[in-house]
Every structure is written in C-alpha cells, then in structure tokens.
Amino acid sequence: MNNTPLSDFVVIPLILILAILLIFPLLVGYIVYVERKVLAFIQSRLGPMRVGPWGLLQPIADAVKLLTKEDIAPRTADVFIFKIAPIILLVVGLTAMAFLPMGEGFTAFGYDVSLSIVDVNVGVLALLAVMSLSTYSIVLGGWASNSKYPLLGGLRSAAQMVSYEVALAFTVLATLMIAGTLSLSGIIEAQRQSGLWYVFVQPVGFVLFIIAMVAETNRLPFDLPEAESELVAGYFTEYSGFRWSFFMLGEYAAMVVMSGLLVTLYLGGWMRPFPNVELLGFLDLIPGFTWFVLKVGFFIYFFIWIRGTYPRYRYDQLMGLGWKVFIPLAIANLFATGLALLIIDSVAG
Amino acid sequence: MLKTRDMELNMGPQHPSTHGVLRLVLTLDGETIVDCKPVIGYLHRGTEKLCETRNYYKNVPFTDRTDYLAAPNNNLGYVETVEKIGGYEVSERALYVRTAICELSRIASHLIWLGTHALDIGAQTMLMWTIREREVILDFFEAALGDRLTTTAFRPGGLRRDLPDGWVKAVLGFCKTFPDRVDEYEALLTKNRIWIDRTVGVGVISAEDAIDMGLSGPLLRASGVPYDIRKVMPYAAYDKVDFEIATSNDCDSYARYEVRLKEMRESVKIVEQCLERLPEGPISGKVPRMLKIEAGAEAYHVIESPRGELGYYIIADGSDTPYKCKIRAPSFVNLQAITQMVKGLLVADVVTVIGSIDIVLGDVDR
C-alpha cells in the first residue's frame, strides 16, 4: 500500500467530498421523485409523467427551474441572515454525511480508501452535534424573514428539535453502552462480533429512535415547523428559488443522515445480514455500499409511507409526547440497559 | 416579569386552508388564540340583487354559484320556493329524480369536505381518495344535467330534461360500491390516534349555543340536536323514503366527522330507494312558458343542504322577475360560531375548526 498522510488526510477525503457534493443534489432530486411517485401510488395517481419516460427527468427540470429563478429577499428582511440561513442547513446536512460509514474500505489505484470520510472515534457525538446546528438555520431563517408565519414556524422548530434531541440522545446512549464505543464504525464492528443487530437488543430504543428521527427531520406527522395548512409554509414561507431549494436539500440530507445513523446503530450499517453465518457468504459478493443504500432506502421509503397515511400532530401534543412519553421512556430504557449490562457482567464474572 | 404583547395575525384571505377567501384576524398570545374575528365579503357577487334582474327561469344559474360544491341543492331550494309562491304543480317523477340528484350532491359535497378537512389536519391521501369518488358523481351529473359543477339542475315544475338511458343502472352500481369506499376512509382515519387527538374536544359548541346561534346541518346534529329538515319539514320525495338522521352528542370536530360519514351512508340509501321506486311519467308539471307571479305573493322555503338549513325567501311583484330574493345561507350562519369555537385553542386548531364547520365562501358571501 502506498498510502501517505497526504493521500489519507487530503486527497482521498477531498475526492469523496467532491463526489458527495456532486452526487448528493442529484440523489435528493431522485429521492423527491421517488417520494412523489410513491405518494402518487398511495393516492391512486400517477405522479410525474411528462418530463422524460415516467417523468424520470422531472428532478432535473425542477432543478433548472429553481436555479434560474430570481433571488428574492423581502424588503423588510434582515438580508444577510436571511441569505445565510438556508446555507447553514445545507452545510450541516452535508457535513453530517461525512461521518457516516457507507461501506467497507476498498483499494483503488493502490490506495486504501475508507468509505467514511472522517472516521473519528467520537463519531456519534460529532454527528449529533452537527445535526443540532440545523435548528439555527430554521430559527434564523424564520426570524430574519421578518414575517409572522415564518416566525411561528421558526419558534416551533426550535422547541421541537430541542425536545426531541434530548430523547434521541438518551436513546442513542443505551446503544453506546452496549457497543462500548462512540465510533460509528466501531459500533458496526461490535454488532458483527456479537452476531446480532442491535435492533434485537434494543427494540424499544429502535422504535424511539425512529419516532424521534421523524420529529428531528420535521417530517409528517411531526412537520409542524412547516405545517402548510396552518403556517402556509412555516419558516421558509418567504423563500423562493435556489435558497428555498437549499432548505429542501437540507431537509432531505437530514433524512438521509438520520436514516444512515439508524441503520448504523441498529441494523448493522453496511454489513450484510447475518455477517457471521458462513452459509450466506455469497452475499459478500454484494458490496457493503449496496447494503447501506438498501437499508437507508427502506427508511426513506418509510418516511414517505408515513407521510402518505398519517395526519399531523398539533404543536402542544407534540411537545407533550416528547417530554411526557419519549424522554421518560428513553431514560427508562437507558436504566434497563445499564441494569442488564451490570447483571450480565456480574454473571459472566 | 417580562412584558409580553399579543400578536395579531391575519389568516387569509390568501391562505391555503381558509377554504377560499375567508379572512380571520387572530389575536394570539404565543400560539393560543385570544380572539378571532372573521372578515367576509371577498367573494360577494350580489347574487340576491342579481336575482331581481332576471326572470324566474333565468335565476336558477345564479343559485349554482352560491354554494358551488352542492349546486343541485341550491337549485332545488330556489325552484321549490318559486313553485310554492306560484302554486305550480311538480311531476311525481321529477320529485324522485330531484331527491336522488340532491343526495348524490350531498355525497359529493361531503367528500370534498372530508378530503379538505383531512388535508388541513395533514392527511393528504384522503383528498385524492375522496376526489376519486366525487369524480364519478360529477360524471353522473354531466350525463344527466349537462354540467359537472354549475349544474342548473332543475327548473320550476320539474326537470330540464329526462335522465339518459342507463343512468339509473350506473348510479345504482355506484351505490353498491360506495359504502366500501367509506369503509376505506374510515380505515385511514376513524381509529387513527393522531386524527382522534386532533379532532376530539376541538371546536366544541353546546346544543344550547348552537340553537341560539341558529346553526344548522351536521354542525347542529353533532351537538346532539336531531334536527334535519328532510325529516322535520319533508320536501321533494323525502317523506317517501326511509332514512335515519345522523346525530352525535360529543359536540366536537370528531362528532361532526362521524355525523357526516354517517350521512354519506344514509344518502346512498336514499338514492337507492329513489331510483328503485322511480315512477314513469312526464318530467315536468304544467308550468307556463313565462312565469308571472301575482304581486304580494311571498314564501320562505327551506331545504337541508349539505351545510345545513338553506332558505329562500322570494317576494313577487306581478312581473316575471322576483321583487326580492333573500338567501338564508347555511355557511354564513354557521361561520359565526367560529369565534366561540376557537377561543383558547391553538393556531393549528383554527384550521380544524374551519374544516369541521364546512363553509363554502360562495355561500357565505353570495
């Protein structure tokens, strides 16, 4: 191997970052396409059909439309903050993606390439910390618009994200205790060694995580910050054109990242199912990246599915649910996990 | 203590879920509603005044455009009032056809209500599903009446034209399948935890208050008052068919949801009965080509529109045009309950309440 510090820390990450930056907007375009199609099928419609075969070029048409629109800031808005708010959201989403281990390492041109761009030993913490920053974008965007609906949307969002982050953190903590590491690739490795996905060890945590994840990414039934029937479009009411599309990109980035985190924490990450069963060894032929995409894809489908079938919670109900149900449950789950670990340890001696 | 100040929020007239051009001036403390003032008139077209300028036949299309989601019911209200003051006889067949078409229109109207109400609460799929069934009903209207939305369905004395061949069979086929569709809607909403959380206890109005304000229709029946003009003062062929009045005692948005779903099922029964017993005969009674009603004749006649008590008060002056045509619009009267219903609730509940009152702004403003 001819890896050097230069290649490990500069060249390879740069290439991967570039790849994400180039591929991701397109990917989001097609997630939106899939969302529209799936929703359409749930609602007995066809969805986009006009641009290209089965409407396959629709995302590109949308992107062109959004990018060529005039960049408008309301006269009363705080223009500087108004303009940077969507950028924060997008940057946060893309940064968080860098922490996700998306597949096993491989060798290209004699260099070892790891598919997680930065594999820090406090990956979970770093990822959650970065994701928390997205609240700023929404609050600032809502505030700087200097308009009433966005303001309400921004306030709701701040309250919602803060409360659900607490539940989320407690839930994740229980998993970390079992894995004994904060590193995301470490958690995957721990699941391989125990031969068990953590969803079977932490079923309550898994469910809590899913719900908190939906709330954290502001999707139905928890999409209160942008509740279109009450707040018009919530915090991005005043946005249009590519700044609006940044909010969309950010939202979908958050969906991908949270699904990725879920898959990593509970479903063995990029590992194939039953990584220790020799009989299923032929599954190794499929690269880990594919498994990762499949698992994440399922949860993105899950997001859409929920959106197609559920009404929206009310703000106070959402907060009540967060503080009175999820946080106590997450803490109880944490205690139970700790207790179980203690007992297992003392029995094993 | 930090000094706080109430915020005034203009909801509408351009807002995705005020169902048209309703404007609500909300006074908010945080997200809690302190006061709510509905401002109407954005869709005022002077229908009542216009009715004084056209002859009795030509006024029917105006009534299409008041409550545009249930045009046949409006046509019926006007036409029956004219028949009442003029003393015109209506053919037996027309009575049954009118009843069937009005009930189909009630179903179509309730379908739009269900879809938009659910959409306001965030369940988007419902709208697409209900539009699917409404489309079938509109096709029936198109076949029988020549138009889908502004039907101008009836004329004094009877119908404009007879039902096309095969229409009765097609509608009866629809009546067979439709209850299953309602089951489908219920599967998505009735026991849905979020739906229940969002609608139970929201927009409560007691039976007493409801009567005091003159509320009518599903709104009144959901407050436990079994008042349905189809039963109380039967018109058209309602005294010849068998159906139940849907009521509920819970007085909230969920109760109104239950009442309207039940009404849809009952309407299907009425349509079936009407079409099965449809008598042969002329489509219209003997009515002069030009209606001239003697001066001083006046009548107030009410029917049960999907939204409630729809009344027409017509005064004749001996010419071929009415001297005065006053419309008692159910949406207009029902809308006044909103202030009392939303006080103390949250912004999100306002759209629930607007949805559950089921207003049509064309009906409110006229």
Question: Over B137-196, what HEC string results?
Answer: HHHHHHHHHCCCCCCCCEECCEECCCCCCCHHHHHHHHHHHHHHHHHHHHHHHCCCHHHH
**The tokens 């990584």 sit on which residue?**
A275
Distance of residue A167 Cα from the nearest chain B Cα, in angstroms: 20
Average pLDDT for residues B324-337, to the nearest whole number?
Answer: 88
pLDDT of A109: 67
**Which amino acid is present at A173?**
L
The most confident of A272-276, A314-318, B122-126, B321-325, by mean pLDDT:
B321-325
What does the DSSP 8-state code read for residue A322?
I
In total, chain A counts a number of residues equal to: 349
pLDDT of A219: 75
- What percentage of chain B exceeds 70 in pLDDT? 98
A125 pLDDT band, cuts 50/70/90, is confident
Q: Where in the sequence is the domain holding B229, given as residue range(s)?
A: 49-329
Residue A2 clears pLDDT 70, i.e. is over it: no
Burial of B4 per CB tally in 10 Å (0-12, 13-18, 19+): exposed
Please give the C-alpha separations between residue B36 and each of A228, A314, A316, B32, B353, in angstroms, as whole numbers.
Answer: 20, 19, 20, 11, 12
**Structure tokens of A50?**
């006009």
Question: B198 and A42: CB-CB below 8 Å?
Answer: no
What does the DSSP 8-state code read for residue A7?
I
pLDDT of A349: 64
Average pLDDT for residues A147-172, to the nearest whole number?
Answer: 81
Taking CB atoms and an 8 Å cutoff, what residues of chain B touch A225? none
Radius of gyration of chain B (CA): 21
Q: Where in the sequence is the domain holding A256, given as residue range(s)?
A: 73-106+115-348
Separation CA B191–CA B195 (nearest Å): 8
Residue B241 clears pLDDT 80, i.e. is over it: yes
Taking CB atoms and an 8 Å cutoff, what residues of chain A touch B136? none
Separation CA A60–CA A69 (nearest Å): 14
Say if the ipTM goes beyond 0.85: no
pLDDT of B239: 85
Average pLDDT for residues B65-91, to the nearest whole number?
Answer: 87
A308 and A39 Cβ atoms separated by less than 8 Å: yes
Question: Longest Cα pair distance anywhere in chain A, in angstroms?
Answer: 70
Concatenated DSSP letters of B272-326: HHHHHT---S-SB----SS----TT-EEEEEEEETTEEEEEEEEE-SSSSEEEEE
**Which amino acid is present at A80?**
F
**Residue B24 in domain:** no
Q: Which helix (H) or strand (E) holds A165?
A: helix A148-179
Lowest-confidence region among A63-67, B239-243, B284-288 = B284-288
CA geometry: angle at A72 spanning A68 and A78, to 5°?
A: 145
The tally of domains found in chain A comes to: 1
CATH number at residue B198: 1.10.645.10
Burial of A144 per CB tally in 10 Å (0-12, 13-18, 19+): buried
Residue A281 clears pLDDT 80, i.e. is over it: no
pLDDT of A193: 78
Question: A44 and B128: CB-CB below 8 Å?
Answer: yes
What does the DSSP 8-state code read for residue A312?
P
More confident residue, A190 or B49: B49
- Please enumerate in sequence order all residues whose Cβ is within 8 A of that of B135, keeping only pairs 6 or more positions apart, or say none: none
A265 and A172 Cβ atoms separated by less than 8 Å: yes
Helices first, then strands: H and E counts in chain B: 15, 8
A17 pLDDT band, cuts 50/70/90, is confident
Residue A1 clears pLDDT 60, i.e. is over it: no
What does the DSSP 8-state code read for residue A117?
S
Separation CA B20–CA B43 (nearest Å): 9
> Which of A39, A148, A309 is nearest residue B9 as measured by Cβ atoms?
A148
- What percentage of chain A exceeds 70 in pLDDT? 88
**Residue A57 in domain:** no
**Residue B121 in domain:** yes
> Which of A43, A232, A315 is nearest residue B346 as measured by Cβ atoms?
A315
Separation CA B32–CA B300 (nearest Å): 42
**Residue A174 in domain:** yes
pLDDT of A229: 60
Taking CB atoms and an 8 Å cutoff, what residues of chain B touch A310? 122-123, 192, 194
> Which of A152, A221, A227 is nearest residue B194 as measured by Cβ atoms?
A221
Whole-model pTM: value is 0.81
**Structure tokens of B257?**
């949801």
pLDDT of A105: 67
Average pLDDT for residues A21-29, to the nearest whole number?
Answer: 81
Distance of residue A310 Cα from the nearest chain B Cα, in angstroms: 5
A62 pLDDT band, cuts 50/70/90, is confident
Taking CB atoms and an 8 Å cutoff, what residues of chain B touch A227? 122, 348
Q: Note the pLDDT tens digit of each residue in B87-109.
A: 888 888 888 888 999 999 999 99
Q: Report the residue of chain A nearest B10, measured CA to CA.
A: A148
Neighbours of B182 (CB within 10 A): 20
> Which of B17, B118, B348 is nearest residue A314 as measured by Cβ atoms?
B348
Candidates B6, B22, B121, partner chain A, best to mutate (most A CBs within 10 A):
B121
Average pLDDT for residues B159-171, to the nearest whole number?
Answer: 86
**Which amino acid is present at A161?**
M
Please give the C-alpha separations between residue B150 and each of B46, B64, B138, in angstroms, as whole numbers.
Answer: 17, 5, 10
A182 pLDDT band, cuts 50/70/90, is confident
- What percentage of chain A exceeds 90 in pLDDT? 0
Question: A309 and B128: CB-CB below 8 Å?
Answer: no
Q: Which residues of A touch B (CB under 8 A)?
A: 39, 42-45, 148-149, 152, 156, 220-221, 223-224, 227-232, 307-317
Q: Per 3-state DSSP, what percentage of chain A is helix, strand, and coil (rounded to 5)? A: 70, 0, 25
Taking CB atoms and an 8 Å cutoff, what residues of chain B touch A44? 128-129, 132
User: β-strands B298-305, B158-159: how paired?
Assistant: unpaired
Separation CA B83–CA B5 (nearest Å): 57
Of B299, B234, B283, give the one whose Cα is nearest residue B82.
B299
Phi-psi region of B218 (alpha: psi -120 to 50; beta: other; left: phi over 0): alpha
Of A238, A239, A231, give the one whose Cα is nearest residue A149.
A231
Helix A241-266 × helix A288-309 angle, to 10° = 120
**Residue B232 in domain:** yes
A110 pLDDT band, cuts 50/70/90, is low
More confident residue, B84 or A269: B84
> Which of A44, A149, A313 is nearest residue B129 as measured by Cβ atoms?
A44
Distance of residue B13 Cα from the nearest chain A Cα, in angstroms: 12
Of A62, A63, A94, A31, give the one whose Cα is nearest residue A304.
A31
Q: Report the residue of chain B nearest A315, measured CA to CA.
A: B348
Burial of A60 per CB tally in 10 Å (0-12, 13-18, 19+): middle
**Residue B61 in domain:** yes
* Helix ranges (DSSP H) in B314-360: 330-335, 338-342, 347-357
Helix (H, G, I), strand (E, B) or coil at B24: strand
**Which amino acid is present at A306?**
I
Q: Distance between terminal CA atoms of chain B?
A: 49
Q: Report the residue of chain A nearest B14, measured CA to CA.
A: A232
Lowest-confidence region among A44-48, A160-164, A235-239 = A235-239
pLDDT of B320: 84
Lowest-confidence region among A62-71, A292-301, B17-26, B231-240 = B17-26
**Structure tokens of B32?**
């809690």
Lowest-confidence region among A36-40, A113-117, B197-201 = A113-117
**Residue A152 in domain:** yes
pLDDT of B217: 87
Average pLDDT for residues B323-336, to the nearest whole number?
Answer: 88
A42 and B127 Cβ atoms separated by less than 8 Å: no
Separation CA A304–CA A35 (nearest Å): 6
Question: A230 and B17: CB-CB below 8 Å?
Answer: yes
- Phi/psi of residue B154, nearest 5 degrees: -125, 170
A107 pLDDT band, cuts 50/70/90, is low
Separation CA B200–CA B220 (nearest Å): 16
pLDDT of A89: 85
Average pLDDT for residues A20-47, to the nearest whole number?
Answer: 84
Separation CA B17–CA A149 (nearest Å): 14
CB–CB contacts below 8 A, A to B: 81
Separation CA A143–CA A79 (nearest Å): 11
**Residue B184 in domain:** yes
Separation CA A1–CA B236 (nearest Å): 91
B353 pLDDT band, cuts 50/70/90, is confident
- Phi/psi of residue B297, nearest 5 degrees: -70, 130
pLDDT of B1: 61
Question: A313 and B351: CB-CB below 8 Å?
Answer: no
Distance of residue A128 Cα from the nearest chain B Cα, in angstroms: 28
pLDDT of A221: 76
Lowest-confidence region among A95-99, A136-140, A218-222, B242-246 = A218-222
pLDDT mean across residues, chain B: 86
Q: Report the residue of chain B nearest A220, measured CA to CA.
A: B122
Q: Report the residue of chain B nearest A221, measured CA to CA.
A: B122
The tally of domains found in chain B comes to: 1
pLDDT of B17: 67
Q: Note the pLDDT tens digit of each residue in A301-327.
A: 888 888 888 888 877 788 888 888 888
Distance of residue B64 Cα from the nearest chain A Cα, in angstroms: 28
User: β-strands B23-29, B32-39: how paired?
Assistant: antiparallel
Q: Note the pLDDT tens digit of each residue in B51-60.
A: 888 888 888 8
pLDDT of A3: 67
Separation CA A191–CA A200 (nearest Å): 11
Residue A342 clears pLDDT 60, i.e. is over it: yes
**Structure tokens of B10?**
């203009």
pLDDT of A113: 66
B48 pLDDT band, cuts 50/70/90, is confident
Helix (H, G, I), strand (E, B) or coil at B32: strand
A55 pLDDT band, cuts 50/70/90, is confident
Neighbours of A276 (CB within 10 A): 11
